A and B are shown apart, each in its own frame.
Chain A
């Protein structure tokens, strides 16, 4: 392996208002190495990538050096000129353009070209695809490709930049096993040609299969960089998790009657043959890798996605839900994954965000909202969930993530739902607030509400849930009762498919 230093980061920090996303990172990437970057959600991986790609500007004081020479990127183009190419997790491709252009357009910009030579672009794209052993019609519109092929197009785009550093952000999340192997072969070839690869993945088996060195980030800090040989999975996980507080473990409760029954739910391109039962007073964990179809199943129950076939029964009665309004009326509440874009009303006050589900009950007989009722209501829920600071008129934007999430929870608790679905409820909030939310969910279950908790954070799932369903590629791969579940078993089922239900592909 080449020992030549290629890229160094010195004291790289990035501060967002109220949050230090990266705190004095010092690391280096060598020429011709595959360097894995691992860490839990919110550890700072994406911020680091964005800084290297020129999409974010680091705090003053930090430096990036290439071949010993300090560089700074104010625009993604400047990073590309330094031969740093990224495939983002969201791919960042153009759905309305052809494969050729998606592969070559950023190269053209980088070259400073003014004109488009389609023939040349086609041959460039063809070469890149050939390197990936890929046979895609170049004139296909990107949006007509499968996600896996779109992923490969994104990688092909990085190839045409003659990148010295290729950053792959979760490149395998939508690839099948064969496709992952093909990608790894490509990575090996590129590495042999002297290219450095920064590989971000939460699939630890892949990290061990492909990387030379592994850097661990935790809470924005650089925990350490290790040779692959120095680590095993157990050690790596302990480095990622660190001395984190273990979640309070809840006892498994006896559960009530069946509340929500899902039978053979199917939606092409989303999920297939989903069946499960949620009982009164039960917290059912729904886990699996990102992109396994968990959110889609939840949104089908909530009326946001209309399934092609299958039935949903609530208290034994079949529901035909075609809109979220109907779902809410039936007593189903859903707390979406993305707080900022789907959950909160930014620019509105805490009181507005808390009261939105119960407005009608706060009005008098003339339909006018009674200020006294509103005040009592808001005050009550601020107190019950100990939302801090307790200012009803403060804009929701100014609260911390944990308190924002509590506000969202509160508006649904006030609605008194029969079934509550929470999608990654503790994503990106601090440990203390996480525990508070766990506690709340348990209390709700004790009151008889059925809860489906979607989460990728296994310790959380194991601590809180009574039963755990693992999804993989749109299907239920395994089911574990609380006592029988371990992180290893769940990960196994999520990555390889469970033994309980055989994978059909």
Chain B
């Protein structure tokens, strides 16, 4: 039976980690300042993780996701910093910048989606290639430097709060809800899961898997772009490695959140909780004075440990499945 056991377990893990952190550092971890910092940091990571998740659901991976954020962000930064479109009003240039981010993201997603879906190249290679390509273009645009000095009004997206809730958090909540509804409540989302579960059966069920894959990569790139909107505002600058640390972390969050790395299953809620877990761990350790590099190591170790546990616990089940496959072969012979 399908159930939400994984998600409850993750909530439990999150609660335990929060308690441990609170005990280890009661005055600082539970301080309003830290909670707010986390609430401002988490959304960009969370949005990227959702973009990674939808690709992993189809059995792929998007290694170009953060490079896409950076490239779209850099394009927008040119407008925000007034380097192009000089003389546009502030409101105008902000609207335009966001428009540019979204359009650029869609184009980048179309490129990945086209090569994966219509040409049929493995996603790892496609996105490694496009990662290199995007980084090259970003480097070319920025000449290796950072683009900064955005209009003050743009700070709003990443740094302001509405009735005490950070704006980026609101954006994240809205996006997570939309993704949840799209994936888990619509025919389209069901098809995404089906393509990931068994692409051949999906083809034989009349699903246009090329179109579904194409849309998935566009959605993923769109998430990267929206994360870019927040990151630009929070860092007040754009450069080639904008958000690059989220690449690995997003894969870790998706896997930790219970999404099958081979595709076919995974819940938006699981990914969101996993993002929170990783965020609490890294913020908490940071407050405890643990070195940033050690936190990187821990993230990598969590990724491998979670998969190892998953695989060991799934071994029995998968062994059963492979036996059934043997049986099918038997029946055909």
Contact = CB atoms under 8 A, between A and B. Distances in A.
A and B touch in the complex (CB under 8 A): yes
Interface of A: 16-17, 19, 21, 41-42, 44-47, 50, 56, 89, 169-170, 200, 302, 304, 323-325, 327-329, 333-349, 352, 355-357, 359-360, 362-363, 367-369, 391, 393-395, 397, 401, 411, 415, 424, 427-428
Contacts of B190: 352, 355-356, 359, 369
Contacts of A328: 205-206
A327 B203 CA distance: 11
Interface in B307-333: 320-321, 323-333
B299 to A, nearest CB: 27
9 contacts: A170-B333, A324-B204, A333-B206, A341-B325, A347-B197, A356-B190, A393-B1, A415-B206, A428-B327
Given A46-B330, A356-B194, A363 B204 contact: no
A345 B331 CA distance: 19
A325 B208 CA distance: 6
Given A359-B191, A363-B187, A369-B190, A340 B328 contact: yes
B333 A89 contact: yes
B207 interface: yes
Contacts of A334: 204
Contacts of B85: none
B329 A46 contact: yes
A339 B328 contact: yes
A304 B198 contact: no
Contacts of A338: 328, 332
A339 B198 CA distance: 11
B13 to A, nearest CB: 23
Contacts of A347: 197, 260, 264-265
B268 to A, nearest CB: 15
A324 B206 contact: yes
B209 to A, nearest CB: 9
A349 B2 contact: yes
Contacts of A352: 190, 193-194
B333 A46 contact: yes
A237 B193 CA distance: 46
Closest 8 CB pairs of A and B: A428-B331, A328-B206, A359-B187, A46-B333, A325-B208, A345-B197, A42-B331, A46-B330
Contacts of B185: 368-369
Contacts of A17: 320, 323-324
A394 B321 contact: no
B187 A169 contact: no
B149 interface: no
A360 B181 CA distance: 15
Contacts of A47: 326, 330
Most buried by B among A327, A360, A369: A369
B310 to A, nearest CB: 13
A16 B324 contact: yes
B200 interface: yes
A341 B200 contact: yes
A428 B206 contact: no
Contacts of A16: 323-324, 326-327
B201 interface: yes
A341 B200 CA distance: 7
Contacts of A362: 187
Nearest to A370: B185
A119 to B, nearest CB: 38
A50 B187 CA distance: 42
Main secondary structure, interface of B, reads helix
Given A41-B331, A324-B206, A368-B181, 11 more contacts: A16-B327, A42-B331, A325-B208, A333-B206, A334-B204, A337-B332, A340-B325, A343-B204, A352-B193, A367-B186, A393-B2
B207 A325 contact: yes
B1 A342 contact: no
Contacts, number: 135
Given A21-B330, A362-B187, A368-B186, A346 B206 contact: no
A327 B323 CA distance: 33
A273 to B, nearest CB: 26
Interface in B194-236: 194, 197-198, 200-208
B206 A325 contact: yes
Contact of A427 (B186, B202, B206, B332): B332
A337 to B, nearest CB: 8
Contact of B187 (A42, A343, A369, A411): A369
Contacts of A360: 187
A41 B205 contact: no
Nearest to B205: A356
A363 B186 contact: yes
B301 to A, nearest CB: 27
Nearest to B184: A369
B330 A411 contact: no
Contacts of B327: 16, 19, 21, 428
Contacts of A335: 204
Nearest to B208: A325
A324 B200 CA distance: 11
Nearest to B3: A393
Most buried by A among B193, B204, B323: B204
B331 A427 contact: yes
Given A41-B333, A368-B181, A342 B204 contact: yes
B249 to A, nearest CB: 26
Contact of A56 (B186, B264, B325, B326): B326
A287 to B, nearest CB: 16
Contacts of A302: 204
A344 B330 contact: no
Contacts of A340: 324-325, 328
Given A17-B324, A21-B327, A363-B187, A327 B197 contact: no
A46 to B, nearest CB: 4
Contacts of A45: 330, 333
A368 B180 CA distance: 11
B162 to A, nearest CB: 26
Contacts of B202: 345, 356
Contacts of B197: 345-348
Nearest to A357: B205
Nearest to B264: A347
Nearest to A220: B330
A340 B186 CA distance: 26
Nearest to A328: B206
